[in-house]
């Protein structure tokens, strides 16, 4: 057979025993979560166009991805998932100016996004649309260069957000975020410009989109929230990502449910206390990978070739450890339940 990969149809595959990892999988006590907590599952945001590297015979662009999406949605429904999140994104073309890609260059096309929303809707699954601003291969500064630069960035970002908001309204997407993941510099010192420009964008989005508008809060941590209060009051909900590298600065680096639960609880509680006055619901974006050093080094991009310490693709040399993911997931489920029962978030 010229392309045996193309003929793979098995639902189950084998993996090396060492992938199970170094720790005993914990008993499941953190699930199910309280019924008041809505369950959301992320769908992979990178789609591979056909023909792929194995030249499998799919004539429609992304047909294989669409078929994979269908089976994934069936699993999500079976697991009790109530909604999915999906990210669409554009790249920086020039950081100094700054210059962003146009909506016509968006990563996931309108046709494919409509397909995703439609299939989810058929199964009674809601959808939240995340938006990313990716540096790509450009060297970027993680400190905002100046007020004028930030104004120009938000003006260009607004073009993309409005484009996606129009599509979200047409397809009945339940919620959309107004700022972005990936490139997330802290906005401390630039609160005034950020609030003014983002409120302008929010007004434009509200004029064309009737769903919920979300704001990711990480760029605002450490900023003067009094100077952002109008913006934070105006959105419908917050998105927050609990620390991924939880053990990086912890004195106790024990990989155990108790230790990680303590760290996750502190992190989530601190966020809840800082933003409690705005009385908004939170969407917690939990990122946990089955990689040996994940709790020390944090998230590893799971698609692209990335250079680190002279290794042109360090991802090939990561050590798979399912038990790290199992322990961390149990810990954060217990932490979320505890925080929710305590009314901190």
Domain ranges of the chain: 35-240, 246-266+287-345
At 42-80, the pLDDT tens digits run 998 777 665 455 555 444 567 778 888 999 999 999 988
Handedness of CA 108, 109, 112, 114 (dihedral sign): positive
Other beta carbons within 10 angstroms of residue 203's beta carbon come to 10
CATH 3.20.20.80 for the 35-240 domain, yes or no: yes
pTM for the whole structure = 0.90
Rounded-to-integer distance, Cα 116 and Cα 129, Å: 11
Average pLDDT, stretch 126-140? 93
Residue 254's pLDDT is what?
97
Rounded-to-integer distance, Cα 108 and Cα 213, Å: 20
At 26-41, the pLDDT tens digits run 999 998 898 889 999 9
At 244-277, the pLDDT tens digits run 999 999 999 999 999 999 999 999 999 999 999 9
Residue 60's pLDDT is what?
57
In the structure encoding, which two tokens stand for residue 107, read together?
Answer: 């990563």
């Amino acid at each position: 057979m010229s392309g045996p990969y193309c003929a793979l149809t098995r639902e189950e595959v084998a993996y090396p025993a060492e992938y199970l990892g170094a720790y005993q999988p914990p008993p499941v006590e953190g699930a199910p979560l309280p019924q008041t907590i809505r369950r959301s599952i992320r769908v992979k945001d990178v789609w591979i166009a056909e023909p792929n590297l194995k030249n499998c015979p799919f004539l429609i662009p992304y047909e294989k991805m669409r078929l994979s999406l269908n089976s994934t949605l069936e699993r999500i429904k079976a697991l009790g998932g109530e909604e999915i999140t999906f990210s669409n994104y554009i790249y920086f073309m020039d950081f100094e100016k700054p210059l962003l890609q146009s909506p016509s260059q968006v990563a996931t096309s309108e046709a494919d996004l409509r397909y995703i929303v439609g299939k989810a809707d058929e199964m009674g699954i809601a959808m939240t649309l995340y938006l990313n601003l990716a540096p790509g291969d450009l060297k970027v500064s993680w400190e905002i260069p100046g007020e004028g630069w930030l104004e120009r960035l938000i003006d260009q970002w607004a073009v993309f957000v409005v484009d996606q908001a129009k599509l979200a309204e047409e397809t009945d997407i339940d919620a959309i975020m107004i700022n972005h993941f990936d490139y997330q510099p802290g906005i401390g010192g630039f609160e005034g410009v950020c609030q003014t420009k983002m409120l302008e964008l929010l007004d434009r989005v509200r004029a064309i989109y009737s769903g919920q508008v979300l704001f990711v809060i990480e760029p605002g941590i450490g900023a003067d929230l009094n100077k952002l209060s109008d913006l934070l009051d105006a959105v419908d909900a917050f998105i927050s990502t609990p620390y991924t590298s939880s053990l990086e600065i912890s004195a106790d680096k024990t990989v155990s449910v108790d230790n990680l639960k303590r760290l996750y609880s502190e992190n989530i509680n601190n966020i809840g206390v800082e933003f409690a006055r705005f009385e908004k619901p939170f969407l917690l974006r939990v990122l946990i990978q089955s990689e040996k050093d994940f709790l020390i080094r944090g998230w590893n991009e799971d698609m692209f070739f990335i250079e680190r310490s002279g290794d042109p693709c360090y991802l090939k040399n990561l050590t798979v450890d399912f038990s790290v993911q199992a322990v961390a997931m149990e810990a954060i489920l217990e932490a979320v339940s505890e925080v929710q029962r305590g009314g901190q978030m």
